[in-house]
Each structure stands twice: as C-alpha cells, then as structure tokens.
C-alpha cells in the first residue's frame, strides 16, 4: 500500500507553517509535502524534518510571481533564463531537505507566443532541469492542472503530460498524478491509472468537486487506492485538500492507513 504525506500548505493551517511539521508527525504522518519552501531557510526546514522524523516527499520549483497569478514559468518562451536560475534555487532546497521529487510548474499560456513555442520551451527546459537534477537522484514532476481552477494552464490532461514526458525523453521526468485534477479533466480513473501507470512518479488526492477530505464526493478512493496498488505504485500519496471543518477533525479517513 502506498503511504500518505501531509500537504502542509493546505493541512494544519490552524498553526503557523513551521509548527505544522510537528502537528503532522503527531497525527501519524511520516512524510510531508508543500507548495513552496522559499520563504524559509533550507536549514530551518531540514531541522523540522529531522526533529520530527519526517521525509520530504515533494515541493514545487519557484513559480514566478504567484501573488500576481503566475503558475509557473517552465513553458514560457520569454522566461528561459529565469527558469534556469530557478533550477539552482530548487536544487539547493532539494539537497538540503533530501527531497527526491520536485514539480516544475509549466505556467499559463501567454498570448504572445504560439502553443508550439510553449511546447518547445517546456521540453527544452524540462530536459535542462532533468539533467541537472539527475546527478543528485532527483526526479522532475509534470502535473496537469484542471482548466476550472487554472484556466489556460499549459498542460491540463494526463495523457498530454505523458506525451510530453515521452518527448522530453529523460528517465527522471515523471507524471504527478493528482486525482482531483484528473477526475475533473479526464475521468475514467481506473482505466486512466492503468494507461499511465508506467509514468506516475507522485500521486495527490482530494475530493471532487469540493477539494475537501477524500472520503466525500464523487471519487471512490478506497477503490482507487486498490487500483494504484495493482498498478505497482508504492510511493507517497500527497493529501492536498482543504479540510471542511479542521485538519484534525477530518483525519478519520486516513487513520487506518497511517
């Protein structure tokens, strides 16, 4: 059975970010993930992981101007130099946190460039990042984001991401299979998992359509966990959802797995 990692950007928000590591450990989690580490010194985060005996499962590369609505720069033709610099930053944190998975956010399509120009840039940049990270045994993730939450994001479908992975042609580039996004955009999840299983490097979960605890909504997660088992996936599953009432109050679904 795959194991569950607490997403500290979305869970345990009842306390300041640095205190969430301890809260996750106390709740029974053995790993954490989060969107971005860059507001904190890498050493401080590494201390939290060590003191609470947690593994860092995943984080995102710098996304551009997040506050202004940017959602990554990896596919943006006019941001190549900035992307290369972001690889250095992410690599520093990945090494400090002993993290083996880093998500390269593609970005929102720019009206100034063709879709093909975005695609060529993304392939070029992911090859660059993959080659840099490979030396340290780190995988680069591609995550499709649904067009309802992130309109005009460069990659929205799981199969499109797989085709990009094939074109990038690097063994350490993998699919970040977020079930929430996949259900909204693709559906037919059990068949989809079988089809893309060889490319999956990380999994994330939340209920659909509300993005709350995965014990509600239209996705049968206990069944899907079985399908992931059958597919051979045995790594971390990130709990990337917004608790309905409070984090601890909503953890009953995961207690049997921890």
Which residues are annotated as catalytic?
143, 240
User: Which whole-number Å values give the CA distances from 23 to 6, 12, 16, 26, in the listed order?
Assistant: 10, 7, 10, 5
176 burial via Cβ count (<10 Å: 0-12, 13-18, 19+):
buried
On whether the CB atoms of residues 242 and 211 are closer than 8 A, the answer is yes
How does strand 139-142 pair with strand 55-60?
Answer: unpaired
- Residue ranges in the chain assigned as alpha helix (H): 17-27, 42-51, 80-96, 115-134, 158-168, 179-185, 189-196, 221-231
Structure tokens at 44: 């401080």
The dihedral of CA 154, 157, 160, 162: what is its sign? positive
* d(C-alpha 137, C-alpha 245), whole Å: 39
Q: Cα angle vertex 93, ends 85, 19, to 5°?
A: 135
């Amino acid at each position: 059975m795959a194991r569950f990692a607490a997403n500290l950007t979305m869970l345990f928000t009842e306390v300041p970010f640095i205190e969430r590591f301890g809260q996750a450990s106390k709740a029974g989690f053995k790993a954490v993930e989060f969107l971005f580490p860059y507001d904190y010194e890498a050493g401080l985060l590494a201390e939290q992981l060590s003191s609470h005996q947690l593994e860092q499962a995943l984080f995102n590369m710098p996304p551009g101007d997040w506050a202004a609505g940017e959602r990554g720069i990896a596919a943006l033709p006019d941001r190549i130099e900035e992307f290369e610099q972001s690889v250095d930053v992410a690599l520093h944190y990945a090494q400090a946190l002993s993290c083996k998975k880093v998500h390269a956010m593609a970005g929102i399509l720019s009206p100034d460039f063709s879709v093909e120009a975005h695609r060529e840039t993304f392939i070029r940049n992911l090859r660059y990042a993959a080659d840099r990270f490979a030396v340290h045994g780190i995988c680069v993730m591609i995550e499709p984001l649904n067009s309802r939450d992130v309109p005009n994001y460069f990659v929205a479908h799981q199969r499109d991401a797989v085709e990009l992975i094939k074109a990038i042609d690097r063994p350490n580039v993998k699919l970040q299979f977020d079930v929430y996004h996949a259900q909204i955009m693709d559906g037919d999840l059990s068949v989809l998992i079988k089809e893309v299983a060889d490319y999956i490097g990380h999994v994330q979960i939340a209920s659909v359509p509300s993005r709350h605890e995965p014990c509600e909504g239209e996705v049968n997660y206990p069944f899907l966990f079985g399908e992931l088992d059958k597919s051979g996936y045995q790594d971390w599953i990130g709990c990337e959802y917004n608790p309905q009432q409070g984090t601890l109050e909503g953890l009953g679904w995961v207690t049997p797995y921890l």
